């Protein structure tokens, strides 16, 4: 019994250099090139399945024309052999370099226990596609996020407006590859815009009240005249870039 090792012995011994770590090899089988939904899509829609890829060993994705997204996704949801009843995600990908933006639908079928990824490529001069809110209500906020951060318009969306950035955000769409790391405006301009915004446009009246009395916020000039706190730089002057 004294020679038996406890599961806490490794904790007592402490960490070891990664060079000494021994890990059991992980067996990874060959990727499956066959997916029942991909075969069924080709049988049903033919050339509308533009291409099929397998990524991360077993993740199947198909590319379809954006003008047929609602038709094909409706079939994937309603056909008894498919039944993709869960929309896990709607997102987008921008690879930059003038290449089309990709709208990505992550689907899962609880009945058949299988996943499928569907993509539509949109040219930069036609960033518009039909909303799928009529199929999955989960698409509502997801499509708004893609609209907000990538600038893709979803036709017939019930309430298409920004969801993360302010409604009057004027710098564009932050997840686009052509979006500057620090934004399109200088730091000074960003600060001035933040301080001069109408808070009633973003908050309820009750949120702006404290102890029954509205709290007056300092003006831009007053904020600029305040001494910087420790570790903070002073607000740059109105003239110039301030960077």
Domain boundaries, the chain: 36-155, 187-225
Write out the CATH class of domain 36-155. alpha beta
Distances (CA, A) of 109 to 74, 78, 113, 120, 122: 13, 11, 5, 20, 26
Categorize the per-residue pLDDT at 4 as very low, low, confident or very high, splitting at 50, 70 and 90: low
Is 5's pLDDT higher than 70? Answer: no
Q: What is the pLDDT of residue 81?
A: 96
Report, as an integer, the average pLDDT of 79-95.
97
| Mean residue pLDDT across the chain | 84
Do the beta carbons of residue 73 and residue 132 sit within 8 Å? Answer: yes
The model's pTM = 0.71
Query: What are the tokens at 56?
Result: 């991360």
pLDDT in tens, 57-80: 889 999 999 999 999 999 999 999
Report, as an integer, the average pLDDT of 8-19.
71
Is 40's pLDDT higher than 80? Answer: yes
Q: What is the pLDDT of residue 56?
A: 86
Number of neighbouring beta carbons within 10 Å of residue 193? 16
Question: What share of the chain in percent tops pLDDT 70?
Answer: 76
Tell me the β-bridge partners of 101.
122
For the chain, helix (H) and strand (E) counts, in that order, are 7, 9
pLDDT in tens, 124-143: 999 999 999 999 999 999 99
């Amino acid at each position: 019994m004294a020679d038996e090792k406890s599961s806490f012995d490794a904790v007592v011994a402490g960490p070891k250099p990664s060079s000494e770590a021994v890990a059991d090899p992980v067996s990874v089988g060959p990727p499956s090139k066959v997916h029942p939904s991909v075969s069924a899509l080709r049988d049903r829609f033919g050339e509308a399945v533009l291409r099929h890829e397998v990524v991360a060993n077993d993740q199947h994705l198909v590319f379809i024309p954006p003008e047929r997204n609602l038709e094909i996704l409706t079939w994937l949801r309603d056909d008894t052999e498919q039944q993709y009843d869960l929309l896990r995600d709607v997102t987008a990908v921008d690879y930059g370099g003038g290449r089309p933006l990709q709208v990505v639908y992550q689907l899962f079928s609880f009945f058949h226990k299988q996943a499928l990824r569907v993509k539509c490529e949109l040219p930069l001069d036609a960033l518009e596609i039909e909303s799928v809110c009529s199929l999955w209500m989960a698409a509502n906020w997801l499509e708004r996020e893609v609209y907000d951060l990538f600038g893709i318009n979803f036709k017939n969306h019930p309430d298409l407006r920004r969801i993360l950035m302010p409604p009057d955000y004027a710098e564009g769409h932050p997840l686009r590859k052509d979006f500057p790391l620090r934004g399109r405006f200088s730091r000074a301009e960003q600060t001035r815009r933040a301080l001069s915004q109408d808070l009633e446009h973003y908050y309820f009246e009750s949120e702006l009240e404290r102890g029954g009395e509205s709290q007056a916020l300092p003006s831009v000039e007053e904020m600029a005249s305040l001494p910087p706190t420790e570790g903070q730089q002073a607000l740059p002057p109105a003239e110039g870039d301030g960077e």
